[in-house]
Amino acid sequence: MSRRIYIFDTTLRDGEQSPGCSMNLQEKIEVARQLERMKVDIIEAGFAISSPGDFQSVKAIAETIKDCTVASLSRALPQDIDRSWEAIKNAVSPRIHVFLATSPIHMKYKLRMTPDEVLERAKSMVAYAKKYCSDIEFSAEDATRSEPEFLYKVFEVVINEGATVINVPDTVGYTTPDEFYELIKNIKENVSNSDKAQIAVHCHNDLGMAVANTLAAARAGATQLECTINGIGERAGNAAVEEVVMAIKTRPYLYNMDVRLDTTQISRSSKLISSITGVPVQPNKAIVGANAFAHESGIHQHGVLAEKSTYEIITPESIGLGKNNMVLGKHSGRHAFEDRLKTLGYNLNKDELDEAFNKFKILADKKKVVQDADLEVLLQHKAVQVPEIYKLDRFVINTGNTITATASVRLIKQNGDDQVIEEVSTGDGPIDAAFKAIDKIAGVTFTLEDYTLRSVTEGQDAQGEAYVKIRLGSRLYTGKGVSTDVFEASVLSYVNAINKMIYEEKLEEVIPQ
């Protein structure tokens, strides 16, 4: 009989901590809903005490998600645990996740605590958390650089105090598969009460072995695997959930494990995270990269045409990349449109479908053929929109290689009386000029941290996706715009980033500190 493996997704906590991957409240809720559709077992919603915004997002996710456990991270401190419980207490299945470093280097230089003090803190804080919640996870931060005998003691103590999960993080991506296998095996053998708790692992990818280490740990007896979508996370990232799960699914006789995760939601989840964060997936990324199912070599093409399994060990359909034999265009009807969305995994209510169909018709007037990627961008872009304080009315750009680029941009400020504001600016190119004109309208000068433009599909009529990252003080805001006109996409992305800034500032005003 195959062994049940639980998938703990930390995209919204560890993944969101990676540079440039911050999300606002609505985006986090949309990601959480998608993780629920994908049937992960546990969603780590955030670090509740870290900021008022993080508390609010953890609370909102806990109150929204019904089919997954929702966890909040806490340091081994009473105030952290109190805040986590306040955020997750209304969850259908809440978990408090407490962490404390156990390696000599962390205890000496970060915690400035002795091993005995760490042992006592771990014991008392798990007991403290247990008064709130039956499901408690304890993480021994930097476990792979900890003294094994001390690690065994800590785990034994916290399990006695009621920890239901003991987590063995490779916090700095230091270990190797053989070492990690032995560590997990030794924990099972040397922690006398290890049978009373699940063993979890949380691997970072600093040496490129996060997925290999995670799978080695699972073979050694770990039953909870902590991962992120696309492998995003601190520094070099985390173990990628899509790689871990598809390895287990593709090699059933080797691993003899079972996960409940719906793999047909993998592609959609990957695209959603990339769309929200503006961080593209590398083309040769395993499972979800654009080239994962591409075959250019003549020998490979011949083999795949004769029999797919010659060069494809997993099918595109298994991760949600179904074949689309139906062409959608401006003459396509509502039924065909709705059917295609269902095939892609979208189940919209009537109002959502009406709005999406209207947008599809507008797009179909500009494009001869609307592809699946176009539809996904259209729906994802709408799903995570923030209230539009500023809305694009029109823009005019004059540019050339013998004149100074000039942009005139007119926005509608939707503050009750719909104020129309128009500004003109010059710049070092048409995009720079347009952004400076928008800065004048907003009355703030932003620092442009990043600007990217990419094609959604192939062809001259392809939609362009523009992403900007703008900084105001210490805060970074990501904006996205989509259009068949790359100038319009760029302007929309900048306006979107400003709207996010206004939305997040207003949200912080109403969230209690």
454: which DSSP letter?
E
| The token pair that represents 42 in the structure block | 């546990």
How far is the C-alpha of 36 from the C-alpha of 9, rounded, in Å?
A: 10
Dump the DSSP string for 214-270.
Answer: HHHHHHHT--EEEEBGGG--STT-B-BHHHHHHHHHH-HHHH-EE----GGGHHHHH
Mapping DSSP to helix (H, G, I), strand (E, B) and coil, where does residue 165 land? strand
**In this structure, what are the phi and psi dihedrals at residue 238, rounded to the nearest 5 degrees?**
-110, 175
Tell me, which fold does domain 3-277 have in CATH? TIM Barrel (3.20.20)
Helix H or strand E encompassing 379: helix 372-383
- Find out whether 216 and 181 touch, Cβ atoms under 8 Å: yes
CA-to-CA dists, residue 212 to 13, 93, 200, 252, 315, angstroms: 22, 30, 15, 16, 22
Domain boundaries, the chain: 3-277, 293-319, 324-383, 390-510
pLDDT tens, residue order, the chain (513 aa): 799 999 999 999 998 877 667 788 888 999 999 999 999 999 999 999 998 889 999 999 999 999 999 999 999 999 999 999 999 999 999 999 999 999 999 999 999 999 999 999 999 999 999 999 999 999 999 999 999 999 999 999 999 999 999 999 999 999 999 999 999 999 999 999 999 999 999 999 999 999 999 999 999 999 999 999 999 999 999 999 999 999 999 999 999 999 999 999 999 999 999 888 888 899 999 999 988 887 544 544 455 556 666 667 898 889 988 654 456 777 788 888 888 777 776 777 888 888 888 888 888 887 777 877 778 777 765 555 678 899 999 999 999 999 999 999 999 999 778 899 999 999 999 999 999 999 999 998 899 999 999 887 777 777 888 999 999 888 888 898 988 899 999 999 999 999 998 888 776 665 554
In angstroms, rounded to a whole number, what is the distance separating the alpha carbons of residues 341 and 204? 35
Place of tokens 């923030």: 386
Angstrom distance (rounded) from CA 62 to CA 92: 8
Which tokens sit at 267?
Answer: 């592609």
- Model-level pTM? 0.85
Q: Which CATH superfamily is domain 390-510 in?
A: Alpha-isopropylmalate synthase LeuA, regulatory domain (3.30.160.270)
